[in-house]
A and B are shown apart, each in its own frame.
Chain A
Amino acid sequence: MTAPLLEVEGVTKHYAVRGALFGEKKHVHALDDVSLSVRSRQTLAVVGESGCGKTTLARCLVRLVEPTRGTIRLAGRNLTNPSPAEKREIPRLIQIVFQDPYASLNPRRTIFQTVGDPLRLHQAATRSQRREKVASLLASVGIGPQLMDRLPHELSGGQRQRIAISRALAVGPQVIVCDEPVSALDVSVQAQVINLLKRLQAEHGMSYVFITHDLRLVRSLADTVAVMYLGQIVELAEIGDFKARIKHPYSQALFSATPQAARAGAGKPKRIVLSGDVPSPIDPPSGCRFHTRCPYVQSICRESEPALRPIGTRLVRCHFADQAGFPPEPAANSPFPLGEGDR
């Protein structure tokens, strides 16, 4: 197996918050000791609810946020403590596509300017070549050259997201971080953008870190899945293992909660409805962070924090993950039924 392209090791991000006057200083635990890796031409899906730290992770990867601790290495370069030369080089290696294409494009700049900027800043194309290069970038995402001098407000959401993708592609990065890139789009357009991302990966061979909460997208895109809860990874598995069996109770609940059209008429859905909300990341629960909502909670879960430990070929953060048959199957119509082969 080849060495990983992107390595994240023990990355932690705490944000200081103002507590009561003279009170002790508190921190939002946005990310706690997150380690993962992505190999070349592979897609890692990062899954979780709001507040789980997935977007903070995405921002750390592209250096929009400086981690409190930990290191991120990309193709042998240190992203967390770069030399000035490396700092200039990093954007050519890793790019990001944001969730909301209505907010991520400058409304006053034309499509040509937006997509051409990275080429100009990184001297990837001379002035005379630039128009041609932008046209070919746009063509590769299915946008005709006649839209080059338009402004973002003249385009639909799907078109804007294609523009954002072509901007990320402009400098030929090895990794593209996609932060919920289709969740703001209509269902019929989502599939178009996902297929575009898949085709671009096949053509250019870059890796994706794909942040999402959509089960269908995980199935259709990911090679590896990382499930996050309150700033920690609770399960990290190859997609085949994950499809065959989910080992963490939170991953199980998360995926069983996603409503599925295919279940229509199958009677009352047998989903696991978690009680309560995600606890505050300022004061995460003691012991296992999921114990306040876990349907299988035991006394040990309240007292000691489980480590992220290997169970077979995957990593799981649960005291009971090594027990056979845990967690119990919720239903026959679970989105990841037992024994489904990897295809």
Chain B
Amino acid sequence: MSAILSVQGLSVHFPTRQGVVRAVEDVSFDIDAGETLALVGESGSGKSTVAAAIMRIIPSPPGIIAAGRIEFEGRDLVKLPENEMRRVRGSRIAMIFQDPMMALNPVHTIGAQIVEALTLHTNLTRRQALGRAVELLELVRVPAPATRVGQYPHNLSGGMRQRVMIAMALACDPRLLIADEPTTALDVTIQAQVLELIGELKAKLGMAVLLITHDLGVVGETADRVVVMYAGRKVEEGRVEEVFRAPLHPYTRGLMRVSDFEGGTGQAMPEIPGTVPSPFEMPSGCAFSARCEVAVEACGATRPVLVVRGPARSAACLLLDEGRR
């Protein structure tokens, strides 16, 4: 299967007065059609910046795509002129955000907002577009869609708003859906509904999904492959089952131990000591070395390169073999 999106050597920099923040540095990955790739990392790991770079919505200044290619349907999105990018954005690639209240316009009905997306990218008339909007709301299982199209975002619950945003994203039948923390703002029972919905729609419409999340539980239950990011770099990649069964990078191992912890009140939770280094004080070696339980002296000085271990399986750690126990 050929990749629908191929990101190669992507670097996104934010030059500031205190120095250049390398939010994303030399990140590469592919997504196949019909596949869900999860981009996992904590705050500051650069995962959302990758998504914004693909959509070309990084404000410039301050941000610049310093290097790399983003190939989508045979074109390099990095070099695409803005007017052509506008035809891709929202139509071929759609995006849903963490907070649907922020992403929806409070003074327009949800019908009007879906119709706007449709009339911008298709030849439908307003009347046809409104009919399609009702169909889309039905697709994302919003109850009473014919009534809901006339309502405003504040009339809806958080879960409903997220469904509306998904409906809007699907309006033009995108090949790639970027979901940036789509369920973080929702309650767990509603989160379960939305994750099921995204999975079903992916299967039904055959689109690829780039899922950005910090929650390994969500990754484990929805993604096919996973890319783990730390301090702007890719530290590990692989099929979800493999990464979860035998994580290669000490950071991934630490995250897994925290997520899988099943001990009781008497036991301490496994923790990763310390915090992510400041973007202005990145060590010259491995960015994780200061927090790493297996780090040796060389880790602070030498930056590890990605070592390929099998098909679509790689990790960046100097101690790839010693570290495994």
Pair A195/B269 contact, Cβ less than 8 Å = yes
**Residue interface bits A186-208, CB-to-B below 8 A is 1, else 0:** 11111110110011000000000
The answer to the question of A273 belonging to the interface, with a C-beta cut-off of 8 Å to chain B, is yes
Bits for B144-176, please: 1 = Cβ < 8 Å to A, else 0: 000000000000011110000000000000000
Known: A257-B188, A260-B217, A265-B241. A343 touches B264 (CB 8 A): yes
Confirm or deny: A163 has a beta carbon within 8 angstroms of a beta carbon on chain B: no
Complex CA distance for A260 and B217, rounded to whole angstroms: 4
Chain A residues with CB under 8 A of B244: 261-262, 264-265
Q: Which of B85-93, B129-137, B253-261 contacts A (4 or more CB under 8 A)?
A: B253-261
B45 to chain A, nearest CB (A): 9
Q: Does B193 sit within 8 A of A, measured CB to CB? A: yes
Give the residues from 80 to 115 in chain B that come closer than 8 angstroms, CB to CB, to chain A.
Answer: none
Are A259 and B265 closer than 8 Å at their CB atoms?
no
Task: List the A side residues contacting B16 at CB < 8 Å.
Answer: none
Closest to B188 in A: A257
Chain A residue at minimal CB-CB distance from B263: A220
> With A239-B264, A257-B189, A265-B244 as given contacts, are A188 and B254 in contact (CB-CB < 8 Å)?
yes
Q: Does B76 contact A (CB under 8 A)?
A: no
- Whether A261 and B220, one on each chain, are in contact in the complex, defined by CB atoms closer than 8 angstroms, is yes
Contact of B263 with A261 in the complex, beta carbons under 8 Å:
no
Q: How far is the CB of B110 from chain A (nearest CB, A)?
A: 16
Q: How far is the CA of A194 from the CA of B262 in the complex (A)?
A: 14
- Residues 260-301 of A at the B interface (beta carbon under 8 Å): 260-265, 269, 271, 273-275, 277-278
- For the complex, what is the distance from the CA of A121 to the CA of B204, rounded to whole Å? 62
Stretch in contact with the other chain, from B46-54, B59-67, B119-127, B271-279: B271-279
A50-B187, A187-B215, A192-B271 are known; give 17 further A-B pairs, CB within 8 A.
A188-B271, A188-B291, A189-B275, A191-B258, A191-B269, A192-B273, A195-B269, A213-B187, A216-B261, A239-B265, A259-B195, A259-B217, A262-B244, A264-B240, A265-B245, A269-B221, A343-B263
Q: Does A223 contact B (CB under 8 A)?
A: yes
Contact present for B272 and A188 (CB under 8 Å) = yes
B262-A219 in contact (CB<8A): yes
Cβ-closest chain B residue relative to A42: B265
The distance from the CB of B158 to the nearest CB of chain A, in whole angstroms, is: 8
B189 engages A254 (CB within 8 Å)? yes
Residues of A within 8 A of B (CB): 43, 49-50, 156-159, 186-192, 194-195, 198-199, 213, 216, 219-223, 239, 253-254, 257-265, 269, 271, 273-275, 277-278, 342-343
A282 → B minimal CB distance (Å): 14
Q: How many angstroms from the CA of A222 to the CA of B191 in the assembled complex?
A: 24
Chain A residues whose CB sits within 8 angstroms of the CB of B240 once the complex forms: 264-265
Chain B, 196-218, CB within 8 A of any chain A CB: 196, 214-218
Which residues of A have CB within 8 Å of B260? 260-262
B312 / chain A contacts, CB cutoff of 8 Å: none
B10 touches A (CB below 8 Å): no
Residue of B nearest to A280 (CB): B157
What CA separation (Å) do A186 and B191 show in the bound complex?
19
* Pairs A–B under 8 Å by Cβ, sample size 20: A186-B43, A187-B214, A188-B255, A191-B270, A191-B271, A198-B268, A213-B187, A216-B262, A216-B269, A220-B263, A220-B269, A239-B264, A257-B191, A260-B217, A260-B220, A260-B259, A261-B260, A273-B189, A278-B187, A343-B263
Q: What chain B residues lie within 8 Å of A278 (beta carbons)?
A: 187
B192 at the A/B interface (Cβ < 8 Å)? yes
Query: What is the minimal beta-carbon distance from A185 to any residue of chain B, in angstroms?
Result: 9
7 A-B pairs with least C-beta separation: A259-B217, A264-B220, A265-B241, A191-B271, A188-B272, A49-B187, A186-B42
Most buried by B among A216, A222, A253: A216
Contact B218 A259 (CB under 8 A): yes
Closest CB of chain A to B263's CB: distance in Å?
6
Residue among B158, B160, B192, B245 having the largest count of chain A Cβ atoms under 10 Å: B192
* B190 at interface by CB-CB < 8 Å: yes
Report Cα–Cα, A44/B195, bound state, in Å. Answer: 30
Shortest distance from the beta carbon of A121 to any chain B beta carbon, whole Å: 31
Q: Give the interface SS of chain B, mostly helix, strand, loop or mixed.
A: helix
A294 to chain B, nearest CB (A): 12
A254–B191 Cα distance when bound, in Å, is 11
C-alpha spacing A290/B273, complex, angstroms: 42
Q: Is residue B267 within 8 Å, beta carbon to beta carbon, of the partner chain?
A: yes
Supposing A187-B259, A191-B258 touch, asked if A277 and B266 sit within 8 A by C-beta, the answer is no
Residue pair B220, A259 in contact (C-beta under 8 Å): yes
Q: A191 to chain B: which residues have CB within 8 Å?
A: 258, 261, 269-272
B219 part of interface (Cβ distance < 8 Å): yes
List chain B residues, Cβ under 8 A from A220. 261, 263-265, 267, 269
Q: Are B196 and A261 in contact (CB under 8 A)?
A: no
B271 partner residues in chain A, CB cutoff 8 A: 188, 191-192, 195
Chain A, Cβ-Cβ closest to B254 = A188
Among the listed A186, A194, A262, which residue makes an inter-chain contact with B269, where contact means beta carbons less than 8 Å apart?
A: A194
Given known pairs A49-B187, A186-B214, A271-B192, the reply for A261 and B256 (CB within 8 Å) is yes
- Which residue of the partner chain A has the closest CB to B183? A259
Q: Closest residue of chain A to B278, judged by CB? A: A156
Residues of B contacting A159 in the complex (Cβ-Cβ under 8 angstroms): 275
State the Cβ distance, B280 to closest chain A Cβ, in Å. 13
Q: Which residues of B contact A192 (CB under 8 A)?
A: 271-273
Residues of the B chain whose Cβ atoms lie less than 8 Å from the Cβ of A156: 275
Of B159, B188, B275, the most chain A CB neighbours within 10 A belong to: B188
Instruction: Chain B residues near A273: list those with CB within 8 A.
Output: 189, 192-193, 196
* Given known A192-B273, A195-B271, A269-B221, contact A261–B191 (CB-CB < 8 A): no
- The closest CB in chain B to the CB of A52 belongs to B187
Decide: B221 and A260 in contact? CB cutoff 8 A: yes
Q: Which residue of A lies closest to B262 (CB)?
A: A219
**A contact residues around B196 at 8 Å (CB):** 273
Residues of A within 8 A of B190 (CB): 49, 277
Q: Which residues of B contact A271 (CB under 8 A)?
A: 192
**Are B189 and A261 neighbours in the complex by a CB distance under 8 Å?**
no
Q: In the complex, which residue of chain B has the Cβ closest to the Cβ of A335?
A: B262
